[in-house]
Chains A and B, each alone.
Chain A
Amino acid sequence: MKFDTNTDELRNAVTTAARFVERRANLPALAGILISAEGSRLTLRATNLECGVEITIPAKVATAGVVAVPAAILSGFLGNARGKVVSGTVSGEVLKLETERASASIKTLPHDDFPVLPRVSAERSFTAKAGDLSRAIRSVAYCASLSAVKPEQQSVLLVGDAGKLTAVATDSFRLAEKTVPLRGSATGTASLLVPARNAAELMRILDAGGGEAEIYFNENQLSTHVGDIYYTSRIIDAAFPNYKQIVPKTFLTEALVLREDFGAALKSLSIFADKSSHVTLAVDPKEKTITLTSRNPDVGEQVSTLRATITGEAVSMSFNGRYLADSLQSTSGDSIKLQFNGAGKAILIKDAGDDSFFYLAMPMNR
């Protein structure tokens, strides 16, 4: 095997592929990136058996061939490579890479053990702008649970329906939903549970690729082509909780605050908050203020008062401040709407001028 290719393109491809490599894999081959040279292109493949990626870059191939190279070494070497062109030669069990100023001989891995990536037939699919899809995932993915007890809560739900794509995630303490437009309408019922980790990778690939993304799926797997990248991920066969019924429709108190004020207050309150980021919100319709308090016996306490437009009753509730702050990353407008239903009931947070996103967080017990 012998090839020449553009250094930057190979570096980018290797960096992307390396994210899919699991370091502590059972199977040694999975610690590597599979590079196959054929025709006028190189194909790089990496997988952790949860999700996988195949990246194609143009190359001048003198001799076709396949080789598996440890991802860490390859990306480490290319990260510091200079010059426009890198050329590779495989002899025996060694891949020799030559750049302008350096050359490296890398011991390869047995490539026979490297699995093929699953392909998904094109029967069921939906299409969205890569930017939209990535935004939908980004807006909710942080709500997914880290614990593996409930796989459906460790995932992002994507529902394609009537020209709209809805992304939802919850860890049972908070929930976020974001809706973005689809291109055309989904074929078949599109409702997929993508593990949050895999969804994050998909998001980065969408960001890098741009353009449009058509997602193909069956009961077990989804895949997509974004630019020169083929991406595939396992999807989870579990029932997502029927969350629509817990989203409140009416409210006792509604408050409108400047997003920036609210964010700054939460940030500085976090210095004083205790381990559970306990923050108390007191909404006063008469004074037209929201008072936020956090207290830590070891540090001290802080009180912040925000101007707000308030309708409804006065209310005072405690929340995890981190949960409240998390919601702000998914809103972009100037002001946000906080909606309350009294003690023990969840708070609903929305962008004041944008209905495509909402965030639901439960109050704390105390």
Chain B
Amino acid sequence: MTTTKELWENALVELELTISKPNFNTWFKDTHVVKVEDGTVFLGVPSQFARDWLSTKFHKDILRSLRGLSDTVRTVEYIISRGPKKHTDEPRTVPAPPSELPLENVHAKTNLNPRFTLSSFVVGPFNELAHAAAQAVIRKPGIAYNPLLIYGPTGLGKTHLIQAIGNHFRMSAPERKVQYVTSEKFSMDYVASLQAGKVQSFKEKYRQYDLLIMDDVQFLAKMEKTKEEFFHLFNYLHDGNKQLVFSSDQHPNVIQNLEDRLRSRFNAGMIISVTPPDHESRLAIVRTKAAAHNVILPDEVLEYLATAVEGNVRELEGALNLLLIQFELRSEPLTLNDAKMLLRGASSATKKAVSVQEVVRTISGFYGVEESSIYEKTRRKEVVRPRQVIMFLLREDFKISFPTIGEKLGGRDHTTVIHSCEKIKNDLRNDSVLSGELNQIRLMLK
């Protein structure tokens, strides 16, 4: 069964062949199926002009092609509906415009979600640095830390924090322009402006902001032209002392394909990582979120929750929601055992099984060494490091025993494996590049 959208698209392809091009472009542009009911297709058209003309002139053609595609279509009705709104941007021609009349919501288009504020942000040792930097940026935008880049694995509140900066900035200086955008949206905007031949208005649109917040900048690395445009935008805003705030899932130094000129610019400001929360922070987060829902859960349940769901705050919230909905459904309070039952699937203890070979293949591919050399007895430096990383990950993430790891990796002694794991663990403390690499490998293994 095709969807109604596909049905109409297929019909359009047929109609395009039977109707002259100017006619097709004039009348069938901007048409879409609104709904299908009891064999009646409701066709959304942009204006009464189009409605009247389609129904007098092209009704037979439309009906014939729709019937040819689907037996259930009996008739077609035309209704006026503009469908998804299109954005047309034109450059403002007025230089130094006077301030605008306060027509409501004229500048509410900051893209910010007002839910994200600093007051709803739980601070712990894992993110206090990022939180402090955000506060500094709010106090002295453009001066304190510019650009500010917050990086860390998914689900740790990066987006929350950078949106909170935007929200506070907007409240303290309502006349200044704030924009929150994901790198993906930025890129789409750019491509759309290229297609429409309106690059200039794209540039002007982004250069007007006093605070630009961009989420997930790591994706920019893959997009060549966008990256270049971003570079110019960055320079323009930074030179004008406009505040820039970014988030990324990696340290810019380890983002692949990122050019040095961009990397060094990120490094010129403040780069702060958020790490997965420790146990106490997780407990604090669970308490805050539960309180926000006006639900009091027994301490032991909260404790269990914080222990069972490691790492990601988002998963923690998901698990908590699971408990809350149960709490609402039944009248009696939740016990620890109930929680254990409910969270069996959600707990991060269950790791999916991955073959050692697969891990070896992924990591050797990542470091660009021969897969077979991992199993050999060689001690060449370029092989030793990847091998140690493999051992570390097999132990840490997949909980494989030391002797098994040694055996699988070319019959090595378990003490060698222990040494490797310790080595990597030690190196991780003061080597941000290594931790970035590990993050990236973990993503690849998922």
Q: Which residues of A contact B (CB under 8 A)?
A: 25-28, 30, 47, 49, 52, 113, 115-119, 146-149, 170, 172-175, 219-221, 234, 237, 241-243, 246, 275-276, 278, 319-320, 323, 344, 346, 360-366
Apart from A172-B103, A363-B99, what 17 extra A-B contacts exist at CB < 8 Å?
Answer: A26-B22, A49-B47, A49-B49, A113-B20, A147-B92, A149-B89, A173-B97, A219-B80, A220-B48, A241-B103, A246-B101, A246-B103, A346-B101, A364-B97, A364-B99, A365-B99, A366-B96
CA–CA, A252 and B372, complex, Å: 86
Q: Which residues of B contact A (CB under 8 A)?
A: 20, 22-23, 25-26, 47-53, 56-57, 80, 82, 88-90, 92-104, 106
* Chain A: CB-nearest residue to B29: A26
Q: Provide the residues of chain A in CB contact with B82, threshold 8 Å.
A: 237
CA–CA, A173 and B82, complex, Å: 28
Q: Provide the residues of chain B in CB contact with A278, threshold 8 Å.
A: 96
Question: Smallest CB–CB gap between B246 and chain A, Å?
Answer: 27
- A118-B22 contact, Cβ under 8 Å, with A362-B98, A362-B101: no
Q: Provide the residues of chain B in CB contact with A170, threshold 8 Å.
A: 101, 103
Question: Smallest CB–CB gap between B2 and chain A, Å?
Answer: 29
- A364-B23 contact, Cβ under 8 Å, with A118-B49, A147-B90, A220-B47: no
Q: Which of B90, B92, B101, B102 has the most CB of A within 10 A?
A: B101
* Chain A: CB-nearest residue to B107: A172
Question: Smallest CB–CB gap between B12 and chain A, Å?
Answer: 16
CA–CA, A243 and B106, complex, Å: 12
Contact of B96 among A174, A220, A365 (CB under 8 A): A365
Report, nearest first, the 6 A-B pairs whose CB atoms are least far apart.
A241-B103, A118-B48, A364-B98, A115-B53, A221-B48, A27-B26
Judge whether A116 and B52 touch: CB under 8 Å. Answer: yes
Question: Smallest CB–CB gap between A343 and chain B, Å?
Answer: 11
Question: Smallest CB–CB gap between A21 and chain B, Å?
Answer: 14
Judge whether A172 and B100 touch: CB under 8 Å. Answer: yes
Judge whether B101 and A148 touch: CB under 8 Å. Answer: no
Question: Smallest CB–CB gap between A31 and chain B, Å?
Answer: 11
CA–CA, A175 and B102, complex, Å: 11
Majority secondary structure of chain B interface residues (helix, strand, loop or mixed)? loop
Q: Provide the residues of chain A in CB contact with B93, threshold 8 Å.
A: 146
**Total A-B residue contacts, Cβ distance less than 8 Å:** 103
Q: Provide the residues of chain B in CB contact with A365, threshold 8 Å.
A: 96, 98-99
CA–CA, A220 and B48, complex, Å: 7
Question: Smallest CB–CB gap between B39 and chain A, Å?
Answer: 26
CA–CA, A174 and B101, complex, Å: 7
CA–CA, A246 and B80, complex, Å: 33
Q: Which of B51, B80, B89, B103 has the most CB of A within 10 A?
A: B103
Judge whether B80 and A344 touch: CB under 8 Å. Answer: no
Question: Smallest CB–CB gap between A125 and chain B, Å?
Answer: 16
Judge whether A115 and B49 touch: CB under 8 Å. Answer: yes
Majority secondary structure of chain A interface residues (helix, strand, loop or mixed)? loop
CA–CA, A149 and B100, complex, Å: 15
Judge whether B102 and A246 touch: CB under 8 Å. Answer: yes
CA–CA, A323 and B97, complex, Å: 11
Q: Provide the residues of chain B in CB contact with A246, threshold 8 Å.
A: 101-103
CA–CA, A364 and B95, complex, Å: 11
Q: Provide the residues of chain A in CB contact with B104, threshold 8 Å.
A: 241-242
- A115-B103 contact, Cβ under 8 Å, with A219-B80, A276-B94: no
Q: Provide the residues of chain B in CB contact with A52, threshold 8 Å.
A: 49
Contact of B56 among A116, A221, A361, A366 (CB under 8 A): A116
Question: Smallest CB–CB gap between A89 and chain B, Å?
Answer: 28
Contact of A148 among B25, B53, B90, B92 (CB under 8 A): B90
Q: Provide the residues of chain A in CB contact with B53, threshold 8 Å.
A: 115-116
Question: Smallest CB–CB gap between A231 and chain B, Å?
Answer: 14
Q: Which of A49, A220, A234, A246 has the most CB of B within 10 A?
A: A220
Judge whether B99 and A234 touch: CB under 8 Å. Answer: no
Q: Provide the residues of chain B in CB contact with A241, threshold 8 Å.
A: 103-104, 106
CA–CA, A109 and B100, complex, Å: 48
CA–CA, A113 and B47, complex, Å: 17
Judge whether B98 and A363 touch: CB under 8 Å. Answer: yes
Q: Provide the residues of chain B in CB contact with A26, threshold 8 Å.
A: 22, 25-26
Q: Provide the residues of chain A in CB contact with B94, threshold 8 Å.
A: 173, 276
A-B contact pairs, 16 of them (CB 8 A): A30-B26, A117-B49, A118-B49, A149-B90, A170-B101, A173-B94, A220-B80, A234-B47, A246-B101, A276-B94, A276-B96, A319-B98, A346-B101, A363-B99, A364-B96, A364-B98
CA–CA, A346 and B22, complex, Å: 48
Question: Smallest CB–CB gap between A110 and chain B, Å?
Answer: 9
CA–CA, A320 and B99, complex, Å: 11
- A173-B100 contact, Cβ under 8 Å, with A27-B26, A219-B80: yes
Question: Smallest CB–CB gap between A90 and chain B, Å?
Answer: 22
Q: Provide the residues of chain A in CB contact with B90, threshold 8 Å.
A: 147-149
* Chain A: CB-nearest residue to B92: A147
* Chain A: CB-nearest residue to B86: A148
Question: Smallest CB–CB gap between B105 and chain A, Å?
Answer: 8
Q: Provide the residues of chain B in CB contact with A243, threshold 8 Å.
A: 101, 103
CA–CA, A234 and B22, complex, Å: 21
Question: Smallest CB–CB gap between A81 and chain B, Å?
Answer: 31
CA–CA, A319 and B96, complex, Å: 11
* Chain B: CB-nearest residue to A318: B98
Contact of B51 among A30, A118, A275, A362 (CB under 8 A): A118
Q: Provide the residues of chain A in CB contact with B98, threshold 8 Å.
A: 173, 319-320, 323, 361-365
CA–CA, A320 and B93, complex, Å: 14
Question: Smallest CB–CB gap between B311 and chain A, Å?
Answer: 44
Q: Provide the residues of chain B in CB contact with A219, threshold 8 Å.
A: 80
Contact of B48 among A28, A147, A234, A364 (CB under 8 A): A234
Question: Smallest CB–CB gap between A135 and chain B, Å?
Answer: 24
Q: Provide the residues of chain A in CB contact with B20, threshold 8 Å.
A: 113
- A344-B23 contact, Cβ under 8 Å, with A49-B47, A115-B49, A148-B90: no
CA–CA, A220 and B79, complex, Å: 10
